[in-house]
Structure 1
Amino acid sequence: MKRRDALLKELKTAGCLSARELASRLGVSRSTVVRDVAKLREAGVPIRLDQGGYALAGPETVKRAIDEALRGRHVLRLEYAGSKGVPTVRDVEPSICLGGRGGHWYLVAWCRLRNDVRVFRLDRISRAEVTGERFPEPGRDRLAELAEAVGG
């Protein structure tokens, strides 16, 4: 387990590392890194594979994905746990990311699962992935729904 702890420490420090880079830093083979990452994921550690390598999924990763989706009007795939803690995967069309009450950040988006505007608390998003799909500029009706969702 100490090797897996060291792997996590490397990811926390460096951010994103390839299997080859991790293997070199830990003094093990690339296949050992791949196995260790799989075991950590099975244990519930939020490690994701990006183009640059492995990274810990977390609040900063989620915020970066949201920012990218907002800038490019890309659909965002979220793994989201609602107030009851049940995780769902949702494709959303992000419109506004804003601060809210009690120090929490929120994302206002059109939720394709619910076919309605929804407000997502960022600390309940365990994973956010920008898809290659772009969504059109929202129409007047959708803009009115979005404004209503944020109290406008």
Structure 2
Amino acid sequence: MHRRDALVEELRAAGSLSARELASRLGVSKRTVVRDVAKLREAGVPILLDPGGYTFARVEMVKRAIDRALLGRRVLLIEYGDGKGTVTSRKVEPSICLGGRGGHWYLVAWCRLREDVRVFRLDRILSAVVTAERFPEPGRARLATLARDHAGIPARTS
């Protein structure tokens, strides 16, 4: 594994690490870590420096939570700010789709608040917490119903 890939993996696993901690884990100097982080940022990797050390941008942390929820079929508790700035707390079942388009990442999920499928822009998700609650695997009938009910209808964002 390339050293910069290893650096990214360390940050993904730990959430936040200082340059000294990264240097120790990777067996390199602190100066090398600073240089590698600069190169990664130039390449578009969303690494930030906060008081706790290096960390990923909020969108990256949200994606990590969504990935964990998808893998474990867990309900997500999100704080979502709509286009007007209104923030709502919602429980969502992220069983449908996570993808990017037009420079943004989106989560298509069942929203329990709206009792319908909704499209959430990841940069508007202020926080995402994976809960212990599992949601059922959507059966073929449910997926067919969702597809039929939403075919040809522009995606609604919440």
Report the TM-score range of the alignment, normalised by the length of the smaller protein. 0.5 to 0.7
Aligned residue-pair number: 104
Change (3 A) 1:150 1:86: farther
Structure 2's unaligned 5+ residue stretches are: 1-13, 22-49, 153-158
- Deviation sequence 1:88-119 (CA, Å, 0-9, x none): 0000000210112x211110100000011101
Secondary structure (helix, strand or coil) at the match of 2:78 reads: strand
- Deviation sequence 1:17-65 (CA, Å, 0-9, x none): 6xxx9xxxxxxxxxxxxxxxxxxxxxxxxx9xxxxxxx78711110100
- Looking at structure 1, the residues matched to 16 and 125 of structure 2 have their Cα atoms a distance apart, in angstroms, of 20
Change (3 A) 1:145 1:125: farther
Contact 1:57–1:126 (CA<8 Å) still a contact in 2? no
Change (3 A) 1:15 1:74: closer
- Aligned partner of 2:98 in structure 1 is 97
- Looking at structure 2, the residues matched to 80 and 120 of structure 1 have their Cα atoms a distance apart, in angstroms, of 8
Instruction: Confirm or deny that 1:65 pairs with 2:41.
Output: no
- Aligned partner of 2:28 in structure 1 is none
Change (3 A) 1:94 1:78: same
Secondary structure (helix, strand or coil) at the match of 1:71 reads: helix
Q: Report deviation, 1:145.
A: 5.2
Read off the aligned partner of 2:66 and give its amino acid letter.
I
Secondary structure (helix, strand or coil) at the match of 1:70 reads: helix
Q: Report deviation, 1:139.
A: 3.1
Runs of 4 or more consecutive aligned structure 1 residues displaced over 6 Å after TM superposition = none
Instruction: Confirm or deny that 1:131 pairs with 2:105.
Output: no
Structure 1's unaligned 5+ residue stretches are: 1-13, 22-46, 48-54
TM-score (norm: length of structure 2): 0.56
Instruction: Confirm or deny that 1:87 pairs with 2:87.
Output: yes
Read off the aligned partner of 1:137 and give its amino acid letter.
E
Instruction: Confirm or deny that 1:113 pairs with 2:113.
Output: yes
Read off the aligned partner of 2:119 and give its amino acid letter.
V
TM-score (norm: length of structure 1): 0.58
Change (3 A) 1:108 1:84: same
Contact 1:57–1:127 (CA<8 Å) still a contact in 2? no
Aligned residues: percent identity?
68
Q: Report deviation, 1:16.
A: 3.0
